[in-house]
Structure 1
């Protein structure tokens, strides 16, 4: 669409008042996610509020230009990297206000660009938080992105994924319509309209505001770590702990990922973070003791040749947190565990939204996780299949310097996440440089582009995606990577396509995402 007042598409969008970026370096940066680069963008739009977002989307799609939502930029599944050149990407980071904290109704409403870290830090002085309260990437990851992609970690062992803490949203549709999903104090009210737009990867609409439940922050905590000889045992223990309902977080690493963590982490920052947490809890002496323990333990407290499991509990009083921890301890020991120093869960809880330096491997290697969510009854068989896949490709992986590590985590009411991570020698991209701490990035080796390793990584990643599909896994952060529609029965797929046509008849809202 062009008029005398709007001779170009970009000027027409800019008339809405939203900031429009068109510099080539900026567009190149926004074309990347953590994993790869998408097609060239026409422009990047940075709206400041819901009204600018609505107007700018309408102005863009009126010209038949696709629109792509971007939250904190932490996607590695093609959540916002499109194959349609000439799209307009909407960076929602400027929409980061906390709009209302309602302590009577125990709800909080935020703009979509608000990060998990900002929300947590704002609620903490009030002794409040959301049930699910963020990802490990929460320093950058946004709440709108968390609702679109669904995500897990903080609180997932008891409260499930991000979507389960959401009550209502305001979503901007492809024509600029602002749709409010349900009541702001309960979900659902009638059919769950909020649920339609949760975990949609931005394929149905862009989140503008999100209302979440709040709960009192825990006053007491427990921490324990265990090692296991076999993956069958750690998965069995993790499943039993999740079913018992005693943990708020329960996660583990295979021996390779243990070794990677030990190479990468900093003792000084570990001790400092732990000391800060203890001081917040009112114990200066405790801060000194815990910080000294970290330094004294060094990197020898964890047997890197074994699987490790880490359990966190919380409650209103310490006796309750300790009782939950004791129940988790018994389960772990009954499944063949040996208890070890609980440094890792303490450090992570002390600094829940730490710097995102693990985006590259300890020697600057590229990193790509691929995950599946499975019921506990199928977790061991899936893990076996992953090991068999890696063994099948061992020789060529070794040839190209590709190595792996596997993370596992419990998700309340859903089962187990199994997340094999691929590491390969290759050049970093602009998202890595912009996200990793500059001092840490400067210490990493600068690797050259490695086309052969990249091609094999692509092959392995697709093989893992297909493996998880064959195992019947579900996924978070579906993006353009996982085979979501292949998992639907025909009637469900038809309903999904009808819904897409209703809210986005021209197919301009993040086309390709969710397989639509």
Structure 2
């Protein structure tokens, strides 16, 4: 199929109407329709598949206005949809619009929705409007983005519960924000300013099936990766899930942010092949399972990836099948270097040798000083830029060979004090000192708070990024520590502050650090996701065309912008506030629209 549009108000209206129509045809029902799905059926389903994808083509026509119709075949499950790009009168003028019909319900509608939620979930603790509970779900101790509480919190226990919540949200046009481990750092679970439903998935934490022979596991999205690994260990199963972000992170949050941790140099990120499939509730209440459980599949689009890193803007993940890796023997070591550049050069050569490295972490001199004050162990370190290694291998001999190569290469680049843990306890203590980064950093300045952020660049550019960033931090007068997953070019800066004025300096430092990383062919976020904290950088990093394609997918799947609005660059239009409790404020203070994090 093909279509041409001349843009303008009428063209935009027709394009949006066409998108909604195609969505209804594709699903074979209206937005509010859909079967009542049982948890049992969802777990073993094969029927939640959309129509077969059809090919699309686009044709552009240019005059005083230019237009581009983007045809997007999303998946064998999600079908085909159309949307269009915005209008510009002059090439240098960018007109910003969400292109979504995000007209939310009134406060009265929201109260009706809450009443219906209470009828649907009559249990005493299933639905809450307690102010303290709302505050907890709109606030984070892990970041300094503005608090934004939801209107109501609902606690589902299975996929069917989430379907019921989403259908009520559709009925009353109420935004929906997923929430689970609450460890995110970029405001990923903040409710929009209009409020909405917070779907707290923390109670959906069951491990459903373990397939030891296939090295995979099926679980609900609220299950934590630490809980999963502890369960496997208790059962005597020598497998583990290798994606290791913050301790409290859950599988749903890990997938939704595409995050990773110290193991990334060996095992990659959640955007790699560790997620075999996901069960997702779409914004219209329909349930899909992205694929079956086979280790690989060449059948159509990889729709699992569509929801990986989407931060709940396209669907709510309720179950996942995750791959597991074999547990292997490890050894831990630490070595000091003259500077970051020498340490990075050593790591590049080590990685190109192909030896068994599970983790390699760069910790700057400030970090080592903080560790000496507040380390988890009694060990005292040289206060220099250092590398922490975790080696792995199937045998003790293979590990010894890797350690020898690493020791020789470290010496070649000026490394000194190479120390290998001699016992399991020494290894655990040494690695805990690395994992204790936050508290060690906070020990440097009495009474301080810390802003943690991350960027990522090609490994060879990491020394430039770290040097320039540390110099910028020094000039700003802010204390800090730097910890980097140097094996993949990802580093975290912990900026320490004691006043609101210093907090604003930290914001500016983060802004400059992000632009510095993008200029070095890197990314604004290696692990933490976009949320509301990094969305302003997406066009600079990805390009306007790529961001517009992301918006096209969003329009097709969530035309009413109900799911986690305002995240990953999908801002809420001010027009969506008409009739809401914020509308009057925006009328009185029209400049509040500019730069507001709606």
Q: TM-score, normalised by structure 2?
A: 0.69
Q: Which of residues 253, 259, 276 is equivalent to 1:145?
A: 253
For 1:27-426, what aligned pairs fall within 5 Å after superposition? Answer: 27-33=134-140, 34-36=142-144, 37-124=146-233, 125-130=235-240, 132-135=242-245, 137-138=246-247, 140-164=248-272, 165-189=274-298, 190-218=300-328, 220-245=329-354, 246-267=356-377, 298-300=378-380, 302-304=381-383, 306-342=384-420, 346-347=427-428, 358=439, 361-362=442-443, 363-393=446-476, 397=477, 402-411=478-487, 415-425=488-498
Q: Contact 2:280–2:319 (CA<8 Å) still a contact in 1?
A: yes
Equivalent pair of 1:38/1:83 in contact (CA under 8 Å): no
Answer whether contact 2:376 2:429 (CA < 8 A) is retained: no
Residues 457-510 of structure 1: CA deviation (Å, up to 9, x unaligned)? 222222323332333322222222222343223442232111111111111111
Compute the RMSD of aligned alpha carbons. Answer: 2.7
Structure 2 segments unaligned to the other structure (5+ residues)? 1-104, 571-598
Give CA-to-partner distance per residue, 1:194-228, whole Å, 9 cap, x none.
1111112222222111111122211x222211001
* Deviation, structure 1 residue 365: 2.1
Aligned to 1:503: 557
Q: Which 10-residue stretch deviates more, 160-169 or 148-157?
A: 148-157
Q: 1:209 to 1:454 in 2, by over 3 A?
A: same
Distance in 1 separating the partners of 2:262 and 2:561: 35
- TM-fit CA distance, 1:259: 1.5
Q: 1:515, 1:146 → 2: CA distance?
A: 19
Judging changes above 3 Å, is the alpha-carbon distance between structure 1 residues 349 and 315 closer, same or farther for their aligned structure 2 residues? farther
Counterparts of 2:165 and 2:209, CA distance in 1? 25
8 Å contact kept, 2:332–2:430 = no
What is the Cα deviation at residue 357 of structure 1? 7.0
Residue 360 of structure 1: how far off its partner (Å): 7.8
| CA distance, structure 2, for counterparts of residue 420 and residue 6 of structure 1 | 40
Runs of 4+ residues deviating >4 angstroms? 342-345, 348-357
Q: Are residues 262 and 355 of structure 1, via their aligned partners in 2, closer, same or farther at CA, if it must alter by over 3 Å?
A: closer
Mapped contact 1:257–1:407 kept (Cα < 8 A): yes
CA distance in 2, matches of 1:460, 1:181: 40
**Structure 1 residue 148 displacement after superposition:** 1.0
- Higher Rg: 2
8 A contact 1:370–1:464 mirrored in 2? no
Mapped contact 1:169–1:194 kept (Cα < 8 A):
yes
Task: Tell me how far 1:348 sits from its aligned partner.
Answer: 5.7
For residues 201 and 188 of structure 1, do their structure 2 counterparts lie closer, same or farther at Cα, with a shift above 3 Å needed?
A: farther
Alignment of 1:405-484 (within 5 A): 405-411=481-487, 415-425=488-498, 450-474=499-523, 475=525, 476=527, 477-482=529-534, 483-484=537-538
Q: Which moved more, 1:12-21 or 1:114-123?
A: 12-21
Alignment partners' CA distance in 2, 1:354 and 1:377: 24
Inter-CA distance 131–222: structure 2 relative to 1 (3 Å threshold): same
CA 417–345 in structure 1, closer or farther in 2 if over 3 Å, else same? farther
The equivalent residue for 1:514 is 568
Note if contact 1:9-1:60 (Cα within 8 Å) is conserved in structure 2: yes
Cα separation, 2, equivalents of 1:322 and 1:378: 30
Q: What is the CA-CA distance between 1:364 and the residue it aligns to?
A: 4.2
CA contact (8 A) 1:147 1:162 kept: yes
User: CA offsets, 1:394-415, max 9 Å, x none?
Assistant: xxx3xxxx3111111145xxx3
Going from structure 1 to structure 2, the CA distance change for 1:420 and 1:353 (only over 3 Å counts) comes to closer
Q: For residues 25-57 of structure 1, what are the alpha-carbon distances to aligned partners after superposition, in whole Å with 9 as ceiling and x for unaligned?
A: 111121112113422320112211111122112
Distance in structure 2 (CA, Å) of the matches to 1:465 and 1:458: 11
In the alignment, the residues of structure 2 paired with residue 504 and residue 388 of structure 1 have an alpha-carbon distance, to the nearest angstrom, of 44
In structure 2, relative to structure 1, the CA distance for the partners of 1:233 and 1:188 (3 Å cut) is farther
For the Cα contact (< 8 Å) 1:68–1:89, is it kept in 2?
A: yes
Cα distance change, pair 81–98 in 1 and its aligned pair in 2 (3 A): same
- Residue 294 of structure 1 corresponds to none
State the shift of 1:133 in Å: 3.8
Partner Cα distance (2:480, 2:203) in 1: 36
Instruction: Please state how far the C-alpha of 1:345 moved relative to its aligned partner.
Output: 8.2
Q: Deviations over 1:306-336 (max 9, x none)?
A: 1110111122211112222222222222221
